Each structure stands twice: as C-alpha cells, then as structure tokens.
Amino acid sequence: MSTKINYYFSKLDRFPIQDFFEGLSETYEILEKAKIYLRDNIATPNVKENHGEIRGSAPNLHGNYYIGEGTAIYNDVTIIGPVYIGKNCELMPGAIVRPNTILADGCSIGHGSEVKHCVMFGGSKVASLAFAGDSILGASARIGSGVITANRKFNQTNATLKFDGNRIDLGDSFFGCILGDSSRLGANSVTQPGTHIGPYTWIFPLTSVRGFIPAGKRVYNEQKIVMEDNDIVELKP
C-alpha cells in the first residue's frame, strides 16, 4: 500500500480534470502525468487564459496558463507556465507558481510561498513562506508556514522509499512529498525527498520526517526545555 494512489487520495472523482487519473495506480506516476497533460493541453495549444480576478498590481505571467473563474490573484504574484489553476483559488501576495503545477478548485498559496511541479487536490493549502516542490497534496491537506518539502538528495540520485524491507525507486531525482487527504505539516517542519504521509496524519511543528508514515498518526519530537538564569545586559540601541 505504500505507493498506491487510493491509499492517500480518496476524492479522485472530484478532480477538475476529467480522467486525469485513468490508468494510474502509483503515486510517483502522478507528477509525470501532470507534465504530459500540461504539455499537451496548455503549452502546445498556446493557452493563455485568465478568468480570475486580479486584486492589486498585475501579476507576472510567463508561458502558458489556464486560471479558472473566481480565483483571486493578489499583488506581485508570479506564474510560470505551463500551469493549470482551478476555480476559486487564492494566490496571496508574492506567491510563485512554477511550471508543471496543477491546482484543483479552492486551493490557496500563501504570501511569499513557492510551489513547483505540484499537484494539489481541492481545498489544499500552502501557508506563508513555505516551499512545496515536486509534491502532491491531497484534498484539504495543509502545509504550514515555513515548511520545506526537500525535493532532491545531495547526491542527485533518484528518490527512493523504503517499505517492508524493500527500497522503491520513485523514478526521478526530483521528488518531494506525498501528503494524503486532510493531513497537516506543522510550521517549520521538513520532509525529506520521497516522503509519503498517509491521510489524516499530523506532523507537528519543527519536525523532520522521512520515509513512509501511515494514515491517522501524530508525529512530533520529544524535547527537553531548559530555563536558566541570565546575566542582566543592557543592549545598545
């Protein structure tokens, strides 16, 4: 079950692109499918459609894109195609949406955050000052402020996932995180390349995780807090 799509994502029928998941069974197939879909349906036909609402200065739009109705685009947003952005999304000031990204309806990208080659199911959110790269977010999943989904190993070899004593090759050296439906990454947490997190799991703030984390878990560090007397030092202005 460690890389099966239906373990992590239960709302495939609500995805705005019809038949997108047809023929797919493994999580690592989704990101490649996003590239192919956007190439064939957005880039090659030279689509440049913005049906959203610009709230503030004009966004920086590069390449090819489709932006659905009701989507709010705030100041200094940068969109680099090919990308597909669904209906009623929210791109906050300074957000960056990089190539090969698909946002389903009702997604949110926070202030100063960057998403690159991501597939986000409906209602998923990336809070402020975070990075989501080569990752998939399930329906209503949340990435907190300051989170990093590390998406490449130091040695630049393919990302892998260890499960039941076997190591699964995920097929690309760029691979971030699989975050199941309604799961959460707390503020300033980090996922190592290839991490798979089941649905309804909470990764608490300041926690670094890797590998396979099952559904319905709470993951956090146990820390010892130390409080000691301090010298009284008047600081210079």
CATH number at residue 201: 2.160.10.10
Structure tokens at 128: 């402020």
Domain count, the chain: 1
Burial of 221 (0-12, 13-18, 19+ CB in 10 A): exposed
Consecutive H or E run containing 160: strand 160-163
pLDDT confidence of 163, banded at 50, 70, 90? Answer: confident
**Bond before 82 cis per omega within 30 degrees:** yes
Q: How far is CA 75 from the centre of its chain?
A: 21
Q: What is the pLDDT of residue 158?
A: 96
- Determine, yes or no, domain membership for 151: yes
For residue 38, give the DSSP letter: H
Percent pLDDT > 70 in the chain is: 100
**Cα separation, 116 vs 137, whole angstroms:** 12
Structural domain containing residue 51: 5-219
Burial of 171 (0-12, 13-18, 19+ CB in 10 A): middle
**Cα separation, 188 vs 207, whole angstroms:** 8
- Determine, yes or no, domain membership for 139: yes
pLDDT in tens, 28-86: 999 999 999 999 999 999 999 999 999 988 899 999 999 999 999 999 999 999 999 99
- Determine, yes or no, domain membership for 235: no
pLDDT in tens, 77-130: 999 999 999 999 999 999 999 999 999 999 999 999 999 999 999 999 999 999
Phi, psi of 116 (to 5 degrees): -135, 125
- Determine, yes or no, domain membership for 224: no
- Determine, yes or no, domain membership for 21: yes
- Determine, yes or no, domain membership for 227: no
Q: What is the pLDDT of residue 2?
A: 84
- Determine, yes or no, domain membership for 14: yes
- Determine, yes or no, domain membership for 86: yes
Q: What is the pLDDT of residue 63?
A: 96
Q: What is the pLDDT of residue 1?
A: 60
User: In 3D, which of 79, 75, 91, 95 has the Cα closest to residue 42?
Assistant: 79
pLDDT in tens, 176-211: 999 999 999 999 999 999 999 999 999 999 999 999
pTM for the structure as a whole: 0.94
Structure tokens at 105: 């309806």
**Cα separation, 198 vs 159, whole angstroms:** 18
**Cα separation, 209 vs 203, whole angstroms:** 8
